[in-house]
Amino acid sequence: MAPPHFNPQMFGTELTYTLIVVFLFLFVYFKTKEMYDLTKHRGIHLFRNAFLFFGLSYATRFVFQLVQLGALALDYRIPGMLLFPLVFPITVYLSTMAIFYLAYSMVWEKISHQYFLIASNIIAVGIAVAAYLTNSPMIIALVQLPLLIFTLVKSTKGRKKKKSHMKGLYFLVSLFWLVNLFVLTPRWFVPFEIKVLLQLASAAVFIFLAYKVLKWTG
């Protein structure tokens, strides 16, 4: 198999995708600021944090890719090797916390905030350390997947609130993160067209979410 090489088209697509996704998540974060300022509602606070952390995760994921792509394009292996172990665990920590915040935003009335902060940070740091040691997005995605399923299933148990389709949307948002981590890294061989299709599908989900937020925040 030919060695991986720098692909400007792939780089452009990744950059555009990251800009769109980070914009959408920051849009959700800032659009809900007034609502939070007025109410200081903990659920809104956690919801905002989840999307801030997802936005930061996508941003650092791009830096992580930049390091990889830069290493391929310019052959600057030494800085790449130095940056890689730093950026990847940060991405993993931020994304794990984002998943926790999203799940906790639905059950915050039942679980103590302090307990949540301690437990989620311990787990997120643990997975970040695993990321540092393994340097493998695939392994981390496989660790985050059961965590995602467990937290979302747990958070939906025994809820009395009116049913909506949001749990499904939250699941998709988190799942697309894992797909991005697992598949959309340059090392992983997936045809370019499939990557673009996945990016389009996830962007559509994020746009729908931003639209839902806009509907209530105006």
Residues found near another protein in the complex (CB under 8 A): 32, 34-35, 38-41, 43-44, 46-47, 105-106, 108, 159, 161-162, 164, 166-167, 212-213, 216-218
162 vs 191, beta carbon nearer another protein: 162
Q: How far apart are CA 25 and CA 196, in angstroms?
A: 19
Smallest separation (angstroms) from another protein to the CB of 205: 15
Smallest separation (angstroms) from another protein to the CB of 159: 7
Smallest separation (angstroms) from another protein to the CB of 132: 33
Are 103 and 151 within 8 A, CB to CB? yes
Are 53 and 47 within 8 A, CB to CB? no
77 vs 159, beta carbon nearer another protein: 159
Are 144 and 96 within 8 A, CB to CB? yes
Are 175 and 148 within 8 A, CB to CB? yes
Smallest separation (angstroms) from another protein to the CB of 64: 29
121 vs 217, beta carbon nearer another protein: 217
CA–CA distances in Å: residue 47 to residues 143, 184, 204: 23, 26, 20
157 vs 162, beta carbon nearer another protein: 162
Q: How far apart are CA 138 and CA 142, in angstroms?
A: 6
Q: How far apart are CA 124 and CA 110, in angstroms?
A: 21
1 vs 38, beta carbon nearer another protein: 38
Smallest separation (angstroms) from another protein to the CB of 61: 25
